[in-house]
Chains A and B, each alone.
Chain A
Amino acid sequence: MRKILKLSFLPVLASAVIAFQPATSAHAEDGPTVKKVKERGQVLCGVHQGRYGFAIADSKGKWKGLDVDYCKAVAAAVLGDASKVKYLPMGSVQRFPALQSGEIDMLSRTTTVTLTRDSALGLNFGPPTFYTGTGFMVRKSIGATKVDDLKGAAVCVFPGSTTEKNIAALFASKGMDYKPVVIESSKQLVGAYMSGRCDVLSMDQAGLPGHKQFDAKNPDEHEILPGVFSKEPLGIGVRAGDDQWFDIIKWVTHVTFNAEEWGVTQANVDKMKAESKDINVQRLLGVKGDLGKKLGLSNDWAYNVIKQVGNYGEIYDRNWGPPLNLARGVNKLWTEGGLMYGFPMK
């Protein structure tokens, strides 16, 4: 409870921080963010308060999820140790002010990349680490099998999310009315749906299987409606104006894609480093070339990422394998017909 309260004041705090920061910008050899991260010895990473597959704290308080793994990957690349991350769970509303004000270094929180967020919010976004879209979950008992059956339904949705706008546009285009029920706290929102306050729970479709599996008393009573109703490329957000930090985020993401494509895994990375004759792999793992130095990092940055966190396929399977069993779909590598496409690392 106290957390919710504290968090709801964050936007206020954040604007106060913006108000009192001296209006100067420091440019050193290392970018300001890398400098701060190295001094601190920790990456401050904004994550979801609790969404299965993306970021959720287990019973021992250990964070798990795809978004969490990317926080770790960045820590491994910059500090050489994937465990040096401080996770700051964020609501949908306070995530951007927290990033803008410097309270977090990176926002890895199921955040859709949109033009407005990229421009007017003063942010930059790395390559998408996950593609999804707005999905709907309903109780089977209401007898709806497709979105067109949802006329007049009460829909539970997060405030300030792209989902909130997508639903408004979708229902308007179909000429259907609905009642939005908008709650920021993840627990309260899912609880409202489960208790029957809403007919429909709507969020990024990838978030739904987890709530169905773990939050429902009986998962079989619920159904995720077919179809994805928007484009939601989820990417890591950073403050605009720090090119080095942005580059690091961008290329750490490409490391995970490329490692999967080139068959470098957590298990075989040491062997690959010692034996691989592939020039791409040699450059990636810092055997040849100076890719790491160009980013202002050590040359084994990518090795650390793969060794400590793994390639994209491993990250995906770890978080979306059993019991969620979410098919990879468009999140496959481009070589297998998906959208994940690592840029050349040379």
Chain B
Amino acid sequence: MSDISKPEDQARTGGSFLYNQGFRSIAYQVLLGGVLAYLAWTLYANVNANLERQGIATGWDFLNTSSGFDIGESVIEYSAADTYGKALLAGILNTIRVALFGIFFATILGVFMGIARVSKNWLLSTLASWYVEICRNVPVVLHVIFWGTVIHLLPSPRKAMVPFEGAFIMNRGVVMPFPVYDPAYPWVGAAFVAAILGVVFLNKWAQRRREQTGQYISTLWAGLGILIGLPAAVWIAFGAPLVWDVPALRGFNFQGGLQLSPEFVALLIGITVYTAAFIAEIVRSGIQSVPSGQIEAARAVGLRPSFIMRYVTMPQALRVIIPPTASQYLSLTKNSSLGVLIGYPDLVNIGNTTLNQTGQAVEAIAIMMVVYLAISIVISTFMNVYNRLVAIKER
């Protein structure tokens, strides 16, 4: 084909390379790039000129100056003597913290509700569809404010609810016992990672074995054994160190233990419950998208129900489920910025304070935008890779 069309192409272009397709497409792209660059530059120059005319401070020096305000909760050590840069970092980490927990719980709740919705159990499926319809049809802002208000109505520290010994639920948040750090813990963590790898290999081996011999080996109990046994063995080898840091009421508040602020809890519940409703619908549609003929065929060849779910339904459902779930993760992350309404010190909250204390609105907002963009890109990259892994491979 190409051998025949080549002389024709050359004939059509003649002497002028203006008609050359390759040249044209490059020229258009250069032109478009130039226009974009010009627009960006104009915007930048205009902002600078206007800020200068109005005598508003510009530049990034403020990041290195002392902030002078405190932050209620932070993953890293932070005090008012630290810089605005560190304050913003604390805000970024708080955003990431609530987003990660939110994604984790929303996935679990969403998958459970999605499966419940296609369940044959009438009560379960009705409850699940009520949950979905109520939660996804109420704006996420109201979810966050609602939980923020509810948590303030809980009893005060002195009258805190005690779900189990050492744990307290109150209007100052949730506190519970937490193990005191011991040098053995990193090793236990490493053992856990090793155990996960071990389980993956075990499954691979069992699958190859099954493909070769047709013999099915259940790896469930062996896998669980490795997952629990290996870290436990390491822990015992170190002398089973375990000291609980039990929270106690000292002065106005509880000290010690694991402390979750009411703002964190309210925001987490709000965005989790909201997003899980969408994930539930995605999971339901994913499961229902698998043609019933597939499942009937699987039954006909005598596969057991757990096999049908694992080897027939899920691989096809995941293909439908993953891409929209990725966008739910993205919107959950962005929705975490609503924490500003109830006082969770996330990036937007601290960015706003920084903006107000320094007056450098353009810089502060640019930082917020870039950070959200970066977090979103990381999540979507990760989800794209996962999507490629579960996509049905053409052979």
A179-B149 Cα distance, complex, nearest whole Å:
19
B95 sits at the interface (CB 8 A): no
A179 touching B72, Cβ below 8 Å: yes
A15-B49 Cα distance, complex, nearest whole Å:
13
A23-B55 Cα distance, complex, nearest whole Å:
13
Q: What is the minimal beta-carbon distance from B343 to any residue of chain A, in angstroms?
A: 4
- Give a binary string over B48-76; 1 marks a CB under 8 Å from any A CB, 0 the rest: 01110111110000000000111111000
A274 sits at the interface (CB 8 A): no
Known: A15-B365, A152-B251, A160-B352. A96 touches B80 (CB 8 A): no
A142-B249 Cα distance, complex, nearest whole Å:
14
Q: What is the minimal beta-carbon distance from B171 to any residue of chain A, in angstroms?
A: 5
A4 touching B70, Cβ below 8 Å: no
Q: What is the minimal beta-carbon distance from B336 to any residue of chain A, in angstroms?
A: 14
Q: What is the minimal beta-carbon distance from B57 to any residue of chain A, in angstroms?
A: 4
Q: What is the minimal beta-carbon distance from B280 to any residue of chain A, in angstroms?
A: 26
Residues of A within 8 A of B68 (CB): 165, 168-169
A315-B287 Cα distance, complex, nearest whole Å:
69
A185 sits at the interface (CB 8 A): yes
Residue of B nearest to A178 (CB): B70
A302-B379 Cα distance, complex, nearest whole Å:
62
Contact residues of A between 204 and 245, Cβ < 8 Å to B = 239-241
B231 sits at the interface (CB 8 A): no
- Give a binary string over B62-102; 1 marks a CB under 8 Å from any A CB, 0 the rest: 00000011111100000111000000000000000000000
B342 touching A121, Cβ below 8 Å: no
- Give a binary string over A87-105; 1 marks a CB under 8 Å from any B CB, 0 the rest: 0000011001100100000
Known: A1-B145, A154-B252. A183 touches B352 (CB 8 A): no
User: Which of A180, A199, A240 lies in contact with B71, CB distance below 8 A?
Assistant: A180
Known: A18-B51, A165-B69. A196 touches B361 (CB 8 A): no
Among the stretches A6-14, A54-62, A127-135, the one at the interface with B is A6-14
User: Which of A11, A120, A142, A154 lies in contact with B56, CB distance below 8 A?
Assistant: A120
Among the stretches A187-195, A278-286, A332-340, the one at the interface with B is A187-195
For A25, A142, A168, A172, which residue has the most chain B Cβ atoms within 10 angstroms? A168
B6 sits at the interface (CB 8 A): no
Q: What is the minimal beta-carbon distance from B72 to any residue of chain A, in angstroms?
A: 5
Residues of B within 8 A of A183 (CB): 341-343
Contact residues of B between 345 and 395, Cβ < 8 Å to A = 345, 349, 352-353, 355-362, 364-365
A115-B262 Cα distance, complex, nearest whole Å:
36
Interface size of A by CB at 8 A reads 59
A191-B342 Cα distance, complex, nearest whole Å:
11
A169-B66 Cα distance, complex, nearest whole Å:
12
Known: A180-B70, A240-B55. A165 touches B250 (CB 8 A): no
B171 touching A196, Cβ below 8 Å: yes
Residue of A nearest to B351 (CB): A11
Known: A164-B353, A169-B68, A241-B53. A14 touches B145 (CB 8 A): no
Q: What is the minimal beta-carbon distance from B157 to any residue of chain A, in angstroms?
A: 9
User: Which of B46, B81, B152 lies in contact with A19, CB distance below 8 A?
Assistant: B46
Interface size of B by CB at 8 A reads 56
Residues of B within 8 A of A159 (CB): 349, 352-353, 356
A182 touching B345, Cβ below 8 Å: yes
Residue of B nearest to A191 (CB): B152
User: Which of A21, A93, A182 lies in contact with B50, CB distance below 8 A?
Assistant: A21
A189-B392 Cα distance, complex, nearest whole Å:
52
Residues of B within 8 A of A92 (CB): 356
B253 touching A195, Cβ below 8 Å: no
Q: What is the minimal beta-carbon distance from B216 to any residue of chain A, in angstroms?
A: 56
Residues of B within 8 A of A11 (CB): 352, 355, 361, 364-365
Known: A169-B80, A197-B172. A164 touches B56 (CB 8 A): no
Known: A120-B358, A121-B57, A196-B171. A151 touches B251 (CB 8 A): yes
Residues of A within 8 A of B252 (CB): 142, 152-154, 199
A195 touching B171, Cβ below 8 Å: yes
B262 touching A197, Cβ below 8 Å: yes
A181-B141 Cα distance, complex, nearest whole Å:
19
A97 touching B345, Cβ below 8 Å: no
Residues of A within 8 A of B345 (CB): 182
B253 touching A179, Cβ below 8 Å: yes
Residue of A nearest to B253 (CB): A152
Known: A18-B51, A192-B152. A120 touches B57 (CB 8 A): yes
A14-B149 Cα distance, complex, nearest whole Å:
30
A178-B251 Cα distance, complex, nearest whole Å:
11
A185-B341 Cα distance, complex, nearest whole Å:
7
Residues of B within 8 A of A178 (CB): 70
B142 sits at the interface (CB 8 A): yes
A121 touching B69, Cβ below 8 Å: no
Residues of A within 8 A of B215 (CB): none
Q: What is the minimal beta-carbon distance from B159 to any residue of chain A, in angstroms?
A: 10
User: Which of B53, B70, B255, B352 lies in contact with A184, CB distance below 8 A?
Assistant: B352
B352 touching A93, Cβ below 8 Å: yes
A117 sits at the interface (CB 8 A): yes
A28 sits at the interface (CB 8 A): no
A19 touching B56, Cβ below 8 Å: no
Q: What is the minimal beta-carbon distance from B90 to any residue of chain A, in angstroms?
A: 12
A241 touching B54, Cβ below 8 Å: yes
Residue of A nearest to B356 (CB): A160
A167-B68 Cα distance, complex, nearest whole Å:
9
Q: What is the minimal beta-carbon distance from A98 to any residue of chain B, in angstroms?
A: 10
B262 touching A19, Cβ below 8 Å: no
User: Which of B54, B80, B153 lies in contact with A168, CB distance below 8 A?
Assistant: B80
A197 touching B46, Cβ below 8 Å: no
* B contact set with A: CB distance below 8 Å: 43, 45-47, 49-51, 53-57, 68-73, 79-81, 141-142, 145, 148-149, 152-153, 156, 171-172, 250-253, 255, 262-263, 340-343, 345, 349, 352-353, 355-362, 364-365
Q: List 13 A-B contacts (CB under 8 A).
A: A8-B352, A11-B361, A15-B361, A18-B361, A19-B362, A93-B352, A97-B355, A121-B57, A142-B252, A167-B70, A182-B343, A188-B148, A241-B54
Task: List 7 additional A-B contacts (Cβ < 8 Å) besides A11-B352, A12-B365, A165-B80.
Answer: A11-B361, A18-B54, A19-B50, A168-B70, A181-B72, A182-B343, A241-B55
> A-B pairs with the 3 shortest C-beta distances?
A160-B356, A168-B80, A121-B359
